[in-house]
Amino acid sequence: MHRISCQTCPMQKCALFTPHSEEQKEFLEDFKSGELSVEPGTQILLEGSSAPQIYTVLEGMGLRDKTLENGRRQVLNFVLPGDFLGLQASVMGEMMHSIEAVTEMRLCVFRREDLWTLFRTQPALAYDVTWIAAAEEHFLGETVATLGQRDGTERVAWALLKLYQRLRGLGLEKAGQVPLPFRQQDLADALGLSLVHTNKTLSRLRSDDMADWSDGKLSVPDIQALAELAVTDPEALPRRPFL
């Protein structure tokens, strides 16, 4: 495995992300301390530890989760390419959730101490980091509203819609299908539903032609209809910065 230059980073090409200036690419080239490839099941960041690294996901998917004292697990978000990992640990000193690889993943690695240099010398990139944190906060706010106010069917519909939109934005759609290599248990833990109920809800959505998630692939025949079921707007995702 060889190192990819930021100059030719595949992320740059994806229309979802705002491109960097020449100067920024040069800085990031330095900022990047290496690459990391991990197998499915690997814990990338651990709850309670103070990770010395920050990552940007280049390829593969994972899960952000948090386990309570009583052992129950909450999935906070699904980790997709372009996601920025470890900022919490960097600014606050400690991760409060874990990140686990679900598929094989390739990560761009940054050194935590260099983040301060970024803030001193690259205000525009610092602003981007804040943008990313605010966007994450915004998404978690939507999740809170979902768990608090939507019933089971609406939750599942909402989650599938969001994932479909995100994956499509990344250009991963092929023949009307996007890859979604998670387990039903993961979705259940993300939505605060039992596995059994999640399974039955998914079956219903499938037979109602609202959304079909099977064999690790998701297809949505009618986005508008699914969005209505999810009590949400089917708005496309905005362009966003990345590192």
Partner DNA sequence: CGGGCCCTTGAGTGTCCTCAAGTTATGTGG
Partner DNA sequence: CCACATAACTTGAGGACACTCAAGGGCCCG
Stretch that binds its own copies, among 26-34, 50-58, 101-109, 136-144 (CB under 8 A): 136-144
Among 51, 202, 211, 218, binds DNA (CB under 7 A): 202
Nearer to its own copies, 39 or 113 (CB): 113
Q: Rule CB under 8 A: is residue 88 a binding residue for its own copies?
A: yes
> Mutual orientation of helices 152-169 and 123-149 as an angle, nearest 10°?
150
Q: Note the helical H segments in the chain.
A: 10-13, 22-31, 87-92, 114-121, 123-149, 152-169, 184-191, 195-207, 223-229
Nearer to DNA, 15 or 196 (CB): 196
Nearer to its own copies, 11 or 132 (CB): 132
Number of residues that bind its own copies (CB under 8 A): 48
Whole-number Cα distances in Å, 155 to 78, 104, 160: 15, 28, 9
Query: What is the DSSP code (8-state) at residue 17?
Result: B
Stretch that binds DNA, among 121-129, 132-140, 169-177, 190-198 (CB under 7 A): 190-198
Stretch that binds DNA, among 79-87, 120-128, 145-153, 171-179 (CB under 7 A): 145-153
Dihedral (Cα; 145, 168, 39, 92), 10-degree rounding:
-40
Whole-number Cα distances in Å, 93 to 12, 49, 89, 107, 232: 30, 9, 5, 21, 36
Q: Which residues bind DNA (CB under 7 A)?
A: 151-153, 183-185, 192-200, 202-203, 214
Q: Which residues bind its own copies (CB under 8 A)?
A: 66, 68-70, 72-74, 76, 87-88, 91-92, 96-97, 116, 119-120, 123-124, 126-127, 129-131, 133-138, 140-145, 147-150, 189-192, 231-233, 238
